[in-house]
Amino acid sequence: MLMKREVNPPKVIESLCIGCERCVAVCPSFVLDMADEKPKVLRGEWCIGCGHCGAVCPSEAILYHERLPEKNPNGGEAQAVSPEVLDLLIRERRSVRNYTPDPVPKQILEKILEAGRYGPTGTNSQNVHYVVLTSPDQIEQLREMTLRFGDQIFSRVQSWFGSFFLSLVAGEKTVEYLRDSLPKMMVAREQINRGKDRLFFHAPAVMIAHAESWDSSSSFNCSVALYNCSLMAHALGLGCCFNGFLVNAVNHDRKIKRWLSIPADHRCYSAMALGYPNMKYERLVSRHPPKVMWH
């Protein structure tokens, strides 16, 4: 069902307003417009709640939910991090596949989720939902279900009929890719059978992001939210590994989706294992130059 969004437009305190028009200039939804040299809320029902008008106002003249927006400790004068620090943060984050058995305290997980909250979302829908698993039993159950799903897919790829059926659902290229991955999957399966977790890497927590599938921004919203979470996790001394295998299993196996209590009209767009890394990377890695076409 399509839920109508609750609208809470900003309130302008005219006595404080200096008529600088900044609030009008930053509003993406034409909510405010100038009248008699002051901004007026003309289309309050179109407000997407992004908070820009209040955050940009130099005279504390805009309230949102009857409150002034939170103060920026930097005063907005300088960026919170230097390009050099940000560059290093981006470059030293790694997909972590080796964890200590230490559980991640709930307060730490909450801090990580906070970072997800502040990612951009299409029309500021803030529609990212999370499932966080920390119980070893539940992670084990999810691992079992995901591996069972993987086994089914790879057994289909090995037969003509199964491949044909899969290609109708997923396309020829995907089947070809799966067939090429078979030898690697066999090695992974063999290691898993020997008790080495090649899916979640014995991580003590798994985080899944899901959102309404009808919203074309959901994929981006969830991916960016979890990427933000992964950066915060890194800054807190944890590590993460995104898991496309789990995302596919959740979206193509109704049992797993139901088990995770993900609504039928949602899709899982991103998932990751996380925990404390048990190895340090002493060096950075190299990457291809950007594939860019300048015009």
Residue of 133, 126, 116 whose CA lies nearest to 232: 116
- Min dist CB 9 to ligand FMN, Å, is 37
Site for ligand FMN in 133-192 (CB under 6 A): none
Residue 98 near ligand FMN by CB under 6 A: no
Structure tokens at 127: 């529609």
Distance, in Å, from the CA atom of 153 to the CA atom of 92, rounded to the nearest integer, reads 34
Contact pick of 225, 243, 253, 268 for ligand FMN (by CB under 6 A): 243
Cβ nearer to ligand FMN, comparing 241 with 274: 241
Residue 244 near ligand FMN by CB under 6 A: yes
Distance, in Å, from the CA atom of 30 to the CA atom of 25, rounded to the nearest integer, reads 9
Q: Are 253 and 149 in contact (CB under 8 A)?
A: yes
Contact pick of 128, 142, 178, 241 for ligand FMN (by CB under 6 A): 241
Residue 85's identity, in one-letter code, is V
Residue 176: in which H helix or E strand, if any? helix 172-193
- Min dist CB 155 to ligand FMN, Å, is 19
Residue of 109, 163, 101 whose CA lies nearest to 132: 109
Structure tokens at 46: 């179109």
Residue 31 near ligand FMN by CB under 6 A: no
Residue 94 near ligand FMN by CB under 6 A: yes
Residue 280 near ligand FMN by CB under 6 A: no
Distance, in Å, from the CA atom of 10 to the CA atom of 27, rounded to the nearest integer, reads 11
Distance, in Å, from the CA atom of 94 to the CA atom of 176, rounded to the nearest integer, reads 28
Contact pick of 59, 72, 82, 95 for ligand FMN (by CB under 6 A): 95
Binding mask 105-124 for ligand FMN (x = CB under 6 A): --------------------
Q: What is the phi/psi pair of residue 250, to 5°?
A: -60, -40
Cβ nearer to ligand FMN, comparing 94 with 189: 94
- Min dist CB 19 to ligand FMN, Å, is 47
Q: Are 46 and 30 in contact (CB under 8 A)?
A: yes
Q: Are 60 and 235 in contact (CB under 8 A)?
A: no
The residue of the chain with the least Cβ separation from ligand FMN equals 244
Contact pick of 156, 242, 252, 259 for ligand FMN (by CB under 6 A): 242
Cβ nearer to ligand FMN, comparing 242 with 259: 242
Q: State the residues that interact with ligand FMN by CB under 6 A.
A: 94-95, 97, 241-245
